[in-house]
Structure 1
Amino acid sequence: MLLLKKHILLLVVLVSGCFSLYAQDSTLVGTTINWDLAKCIDYAKKNNIQINTLRLSQQTSQQEYLLAKAARLPDLSGSASQTAAHGNNFSNGDNGRHSGYNLSGSYGLSSNVTIYNGSYINNNIQQKNLSVQSANLNIIQQENDITLQITQAYLAILLDKENIIYNTDLLNTTKAQVALEQKRYNVGSVARKDLIQLQAQQASDQYTLVNSQNAERGDLITLKQLLLLPSDSRFDITKPDTVIAPIDTVAAFHDAEQTALQNRPEVKNGELGVKIAQYDVDKARAGYKPTLTGGASLNSGYANGQGTSFGYQLNNNFTQQMGLTLAIPIFTKRVVKTQVEEAKINVKQAQLDLTNTRITLSQTVERAYINVQNARSQYDAASEEYKYSKESYRIASEQLKVGVANTVDFLLQKNLYVQAQQAFIQAKYNTLLTLKIYDFYRGVPIKL
């Protein structure tokens, strides 16, 4: 129960941080929703704000990758200018001054292409490609996180529903006992205090049932908000036909750890982070190397008053140019060296981050393994306690029915039974949850 409930406050905080009306599916407004765990997980993966934000980041990374590839291509630009100038002109023939307009124009095309720049373009393309892969892994990692959150919330609701069933049955049994005790009191065969004790127990059982129903409503709201469902929709979950705590053999910790370290997206993302940082070093080192660019241009122009036609001038003034430019860095005032050293520092930081990710994941898997072992032990003990307490309660109920049991002793036995029942239910769902989490780190999809 503690493992099922300890994340509820965290879930509410997460929901309040990411909840937005604009993320809700408008087709679900005012509808009745009844989903199983698979549907809840599938819906969250499609509609969760954080996941969709990461999808947008992935699209941005893809565009940056395409831009990096386009840097290999030559560019092409065109230019055109047209001017009109007004001024005074002097004529030698009549020594007169005349004003007029002079028109001129120039037109051109130019193109440049990078031929060599210290492999900067190639390294940038490879780096951007890794960034796209990293963005995809970020999405998978967030999907894993939301899957675990939804599973925890879903199983908490299932626990609430089972508690309601047990507590309803317990209350109905108590009501029958009170009715029987009332008849005995009416004929004077039992004391009033015995009747009052059973009536008090009935009120206590009613209170317990109400608490269970309130817990279910609260956990349903938590899951509903986690899914970002519309507030006016009626939401409930589909309860499986049976929920049995698994008794199969738990996979060895070492195998689970190695599987997680080899396949979990956070580790792969950390490895990509190191490679991406190393490409920054290679790109920075390109600053030490020369850059060779090629260029070509086509230009022409005309001016009126030249005594020739517009077409003739364009043809006569048509020029073509082609050339190479070699830029050699000689002294950069330590700019390039600083960039290289900073990039090397980032590589070391990425390696530390990867190491920390591996350690954290190993510790998480180990904690999950220990939780499974502890939960299984608790389940076995709680199952035994529940079996014997249930039988003792049954005997005490029969004795009370025939009037040979003391009311105080019966209520004591009933309280022991209720405690054992609660411990058993909690242990069953705790075992199921811990095993699902442990298997999830092994790459096994969560299913009920």
Structure 2
Amino acid sequence: MKQQALCLIAILSAASPLYAQEEKEWTLEDCINYALEKNIQLQQNKISLQESEIDVKSAKANLFPSLSFSTGHNMINRPYQEQSATVSGTEIITSDNKTTYNGNYSLNAQWTLWNGGKRLNTIKQEKTNRDIAGLAVTETENTLQEEIAKLFIQILYADESININKNTLEVSTATFNRAQELFKEGSISKADLAQLEAQVSNDKYQLVTAESSLRNYKLQLKQLLELDGTAEMKLALPTLNDEHVMEVLPSQTDIYQTALATRPEIQSSQLSIENAKLGISVAKAGYYPTISLSASSSSTTNSASTNNWAQQMKYGWNNMIGISLSIPIFDNRQNKSNVQKARLQYSNSQYELQSKQKELYSTIETLWLDALNAQEQYAAAESKVESSQTSFDMVSEQFNLGMKNTVELLTEKNNLLSAQQQRVQAKYMAILNRTLLNFYAGNKIEL
């Protein structure tokens, strides 16, 4: 009995973490951290960074000499010669065998001593490419965080819209129920009752639409997190009040200056200029001579020799060392074309940096203006909701007493719903743009 109890406890203990994991509520920070670990595009960028590390090592390896071993073996048949003479190493070998076998063995070394600084500049280029690849990873991480923040705030907006539509549906249903009583009493017509019934159906439709939008936003979030679209995902949605909405915006100029110094897309463009400048030096190296050092050690053997294999290897052994100089004279305009293209690439990279800077300024300016407009709209919508709510309550009370008709009631109700939707839209637009502004200013994304 005791053993059965212990087994039951063990099973429940093992199942508890699984249950907790299933019931986990995802915060914005959880979503971001998970996406940074699992997102496929980000992992591909990290692989590209690893490839660039290998390219740096390959470029550095070109500074060292190369060493290779080669061997060749031949079977020679002379069907119409009664006697043949061959030279093998230091021997002159004569043989009456029509078929002979020979082998050669060689150890070769090659070392480029100087080629106009091309190898050193190539190493610098590969290091720059590695840094650019690293910035591409950071840029993808930033984009991923921004997209998740947008979707998370859209989910907050959709969730609050659902609550508004639920409350509206409750009011419509209560109003319709009261209208049925008034209809029985003869206070309203059947047409008025039908209008109120149609309004209930319309409010149900709006609620379904809001719920559909929420499901769609959640699906997009799952895709960014590389989660199964059919899996249930519970989100820990924070409650954001007026303090979050009306928070003072940071200085637009300060944000831009900080972003210029920290944003990876700007740093990447700056490195591209440096890389293009190195490309000009690499292209110019084609005009300079190349000095190379070579060395080899080799020997040969022949089956017709009277010496054994070891003696043939010893007596046939020879060593060679040499230096070569290659001077380009006429290369069908290849070097000139390479230099011209490198200079054009340098100019293009400068324009690319200017374009990125303008794009960054435009993005920050748009976010700042949208945030400011959303805050002003929220303040106006807040006042409008209060006045619309008061007006609707009064008309609703008068309708229940038979003093207002259906058209007046529905007009006030729609005005209230419109004001509520405007307020919630302005609220989350202000929060979204302010959150992104803080991120461009170098702060962590958080609500």
Could you say which TM-score interval applies, normalised by the shorter chain? Answer: 0.7 to 0.9
Distance 1:190 1:375 in 2: 42
2:69 alignment partner, SS class: strand
1:70 aligns with 2:68: no
Residue of structure 2 equivalent to 1:374 = 373
Instruction: List aligned pairs for 1:180-259, cutoff 5 A.
Output: 180-188=178-186, 192-242=190-240, 244=242, 245-259=244-258
Distance 2:374 2:78 in 1: 98
- Residue 419 of structure 1: how far off its partner (Å): 1.0
TM-score, with normalisation over the residues of structure 1? 0.85
Instruction: List aligned pairs for 1:263-278, cutoff 5 A.
Output: 263-278=262-277
**Higher mean C-alpha displacement, 216-225 vs 276-285:** 216-225
TM-score, with normalisation over the residues of structure 2? 0.85
2:245 alignment partner, SS class: coil
Residue of structure 2 equivalent to 1:81 = 72
Residue of structure 2 equivalent to 1:127 = 125
- Residue 407 of structure 1: how far off its partner (Å): 4.1
Decide whether the 8 Å contact of 2:256 with 2:361 is kept in 1: yes
Change (3 A) 1:308 1:199: closer
Decide whether the 8 Å contact of 1:106 with 1:300 is kept in 2: yes
Instruction: List aligned pairs for 1:390-401, cutoff 5 A.
Output: 390-401=389-400
- Residue 417 of structure 1: how far off its partner (Å): 0.9
Q: Identity of aligned pairs, percent? A: 31
- Residue 408 of structure 1: how far off its partner (Å): 3.6
- Residue 343 of structure 1: how far off its partner (Å): 0.9
Q: 2:156 aligns with which of 155, 158, 172?
A: 158
Decide whether the 8 Å contact of 1:120 with 1:286 is kept in 2: yes
Decide whether the 8 Å contact of 1:32 with 1:234 is kept in 2: no
- Residue 299 of structure 1: how far off its partner (Å): 0.9
Distance 1:435 1:428 in 2: 11
- Residue 287 of structure 1: how far off its partner (Å): 1.4
**Higher mean C-alpha displacement, 399-408 vs 324-333:** 399-408
Residue of structure 2 equivalent to 1:283 = 282
Instruction: List aligned pairs for 1:327-366, cutoff 5 A.
Output: 327-366=326-365
- Residue 403 of structure 1: how far off its partner (Å): 5.2
Residue of structure 1 equivalent to 2:29 = 38
Unaligned runs of 5+ in 2: 1-17, 84-94
Unaligned runs of 5+ in 1: 1-26, 92-96
**Higher mean C-alpha displacement, 119-128 vs 106-115:** 106-115
- Residue 447 of structure 1: how far off its partner (Å): 1.4
- Residue 193 of structure 1: how far off its partner (Å): 4.9
Instruction: List aligned pairs for 1:129-148, cutoff 5 A.
Output: 129-148=127-146
Distance 1:411 1:306 in 2: 116
Distance 2:175 2:342 in 1: 78
CA offsets 1:222-277 (integer angstroms, 9 cap, x no match): 33334443243234533224465432211111111111111111111110111111
Distance 2:143 2:230 in 1: 27
Distance 1:248 1:215 in 2: 28
Distance 2:199 2:312 in 1: 111
Distance 1:215 1:331 in 2: 68
**Higher mean C-alpha displacement, 352-361 vs 302-311:** 302-311
Decide whether the 8 Å contact of 1:82 with 1:105 is kept in 2: yes
Could you say what the CA RMSD is over the residues aligned between the two structures, in angstroms? 2.5
1:76 alignment partner, SS class: strand
Residue of structure 2 equivalent to 1:423 = 422
1:380 alignment partner, SS class: helix
Distance 1:231 1:33 in 2: 16
Residue of structure 2 equivalent to 1:15 = none
Distance 2:303 2:197 in 1: 114
Change (3 A) 1:405 1:72: same
Change (3 A) 1:124 1:394: same
Decide whether the 8 Å contact of 2:82 with 2:98 is kept in 1: no
Distance 1:183 1:417 in 2: 24
Number of aligned positions between the proteins: 414
Residue of structure 2 equivalent to 1:170 = 168
**Higher mean C-alpha displacement, 307-316 vs 252-261:** 307-316
Residue of structure 2 equivalent to 1:4 = none
Decide whether the 8 Å contact of 1:261 with 1:362 is kept in 2: no
Residue of structure 1 equivalent to 2:42 = 51
The residue identity in structure 2 corresponding to 1:55 is K
Change (3 A) 1:237 1:310: same
- Residue 82 of structure 1: how far off its partner (Å): 2.3
Decide whether the 8 Å contact of 2:245 with 2:375 is kept in 1: no
Distance 2:309 2:350 in 1: 67
Residue of structure 1 equivalent to 2:388 = 389
Residue of structure 1 equivalent to 2:298 = 299
Decide whether the 8 Å contact of 2:100 with 2:304 is kept in 1: yes
Decide whether the 8 Å contact of 1:33 with 1:233 is kept in 2: no
**Higher mean C-alpha displacement, 139-148 vs 71-80:** 139-148
- Residue 184 of structure 1: how far off its partner (Å): 4.0
Residue of structure 2 equivalent to 1:442 = 441
Residue of structure 1 equivalent to 2:431 = 432
Change (3 A) 1:189 1:359: closer
**Higher mean C-alpha displacement, 385-394 vs 102-111:** 385-394
- Residue 60 of structure 1: how far off its partner (Å): 2.1
Distance 1:232 1:380 in 2: 39
Decide whether the 8 Å contact of 1:220 with 1:236 is kept in 2: no
CA offsets 1:7-27 (integer angstroms, 9 cap, x no match): xxxxxxxxxxxxxxxxxxxx9
